[in-house]
């Protein structure tokens, strides 16, 4: 605000603006700055694995991704409707990128998001239990509009980890949105989760109202690595 007022005071005398016009400019500037500060805070809180944007997701039929779907997702209607998104594909096809881009879109629309690799989240839950802040961490996670769970089912889970994950998804079901990235197709989740009863409960809450994005095509990571390899002299 102070900056906007200073700039207006410095305006050349020939450049006449009414008091109302000046006030309007100062108020608009103040709102824009506050919006910017809020967005910066939300993006920092989201702890995204990578800077990513839905506008830059590589769209091509071979990858199974099209512009219309990305445009629809960037409106964040899925967050408003409390729907989940499952991003499935082999390693290197851009799952983590899309997960981060979805969280970025949510932050830009005014929602709170947070990005976790699943092994890291399970570790934090175990630490929280040990230090007596388990309930408060669960409460915090349940209030986040978009929780990205990256690399779901990359490693087998222990019984306590399965139960922890169920607590997280149970609290969020139908209230907030969860984005899951995984190499495992949804039909294999039940078996991969291990315990049939808990697997039923987790799958039900994650898959029931989810949009599934299947990413295909060659690994972008491999392609990038080949491009940056030194050329033989």
Ligand X SMILES: Nc1ncnc2c1ncn2[C@@H]1O[C@H](COP(=O)(O)OP(=O)(O)O)[C@@H](O)[C@H]1O
Contact positions vs Mg ion (CB under 5 A): 96
Query: Rounded to the nearest whole angstrom, what is the least distance from the CB of residue 222 to ligand X in the complex?
Result: 9
Which residue, 92 or 194, is less far from ligand X as judged by CB?
Answer: 92
If one asks whether residue 56 binds ligand X (CB under 6 A), the answer comes out as: yes
Length of the chain: 233
Residue 117 in contact with ligand X, rule: CB under 6 A:
no
Question: Which residue from 70, 94, 148, 176 is in contact with ligand X, where contact means CB under 6 A?
Answer: 94
202 binds, among ligand X, Mg ion, none (CB under 5 to 8 A by kind): none
Label residues 91-108 b or e (16+ Cβ within 10 Å = b).
Answer: ebbbbbbbbbbbbbbbbb
Q: How far is the CB of 125 from Mg ion (least distance, A)?
A: 21
The yes or no reply on residue 95 touching ligand X (CB under 6 A) is: yes
Question: Which region, judged by CB under 6 A, interacts with ligand X, from 6-14, 27-35, 90-98, 161-169?
Answer: 90-98
Q: Which is nearer to ligand X, 100 or 138 (CB)?
A: 100
Beta-sheet strand order (sheet of 146-152): 113-117, 146-152, 177-182, 84-88, 210-214
Contact string (CB under 6 A) for ligand X, positions 208-227, x = contact: ------------xx--x---
Is residue 67 close enough to count as binding ligand X by CB under 6 A? Answer: no
- In the DSSP assignment, the letter for residue 93 is S
Give yes or no for residue 179 binding ligand X (CB under 6 A). Answer: no
Contacting ligand X (CB under 6 A), which of 39, 58, 72, 184? Answer: 58
Region for residue 109 given its phi and psi (left: phi exceeds 0; alpha: psi -120 to 50; beta: otherwise): alpha
H helix or E strand, kind and range, residue 40:
helix 19-46
Q: Which of 90, 63, 96, 84 is nearest to 184 (CA)?
A: 90
The window from 36-44, 55-63, 104-112, 130-138 that contacts ligand X (CB under 6 A) reads: 55-63
CA distance 149 to 151: 7
Q: Which is nearer to ligand X, 137 or 178 (CB)?
A: 178
- For ligand X (CB under 6 A), the number of binding residues is 15
> Rule CB under 6 A: which residues touch ligand X?
50, 56-58, 89, 91-97, 220-221, 224
């Amino acid at each position: 605000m102070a900056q906007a007022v200073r700039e207006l005071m410095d305006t050349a005398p020939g450049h006449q603006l009414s008091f109302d016009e000046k006030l309007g400019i100062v108020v608009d500037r103040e709102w824009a700055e506050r919006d910017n500060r809020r967005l910066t805070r939300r993006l920092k809180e989201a702890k995204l694995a990578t800077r990513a944007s839905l506008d830059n997701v590589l769209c091509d039929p071979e990858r199974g991704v099209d512009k219309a779907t990305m445009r629809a997702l960037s409106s964040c209607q899925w967050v408003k409707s409390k729907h989940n998104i499952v991003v499935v594909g082999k390693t290197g096809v851009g799952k983590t990128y899309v997960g981060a881009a979805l969280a970025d879109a949510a932050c830009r629309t005014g929602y709170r998001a947070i990005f976790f690799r699943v092994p890291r989240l399970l570790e934090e839950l175990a630490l929280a239990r040990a230090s007596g802040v388990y309930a408060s961490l669960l409460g915090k996670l349940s209030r986040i509009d978009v929780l990205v769970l990256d690399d779901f089912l990359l490693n087998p889970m222990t019984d306590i980890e399965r139960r922890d994950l169920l607590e997280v998804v149970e609290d969020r079901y139908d209230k907030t949105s969860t984005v899951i990235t995984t190499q495992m197709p949804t039909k294999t989740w039940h078996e991969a989760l291990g315990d049939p009863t808990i697997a039923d409960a987790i799958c039900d809450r994650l898959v029931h109202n989810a949009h599934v994005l299947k990413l295909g095509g060659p690994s972008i990571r491999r392609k990038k690595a080949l491009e940056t390899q030194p050329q033989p002299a």
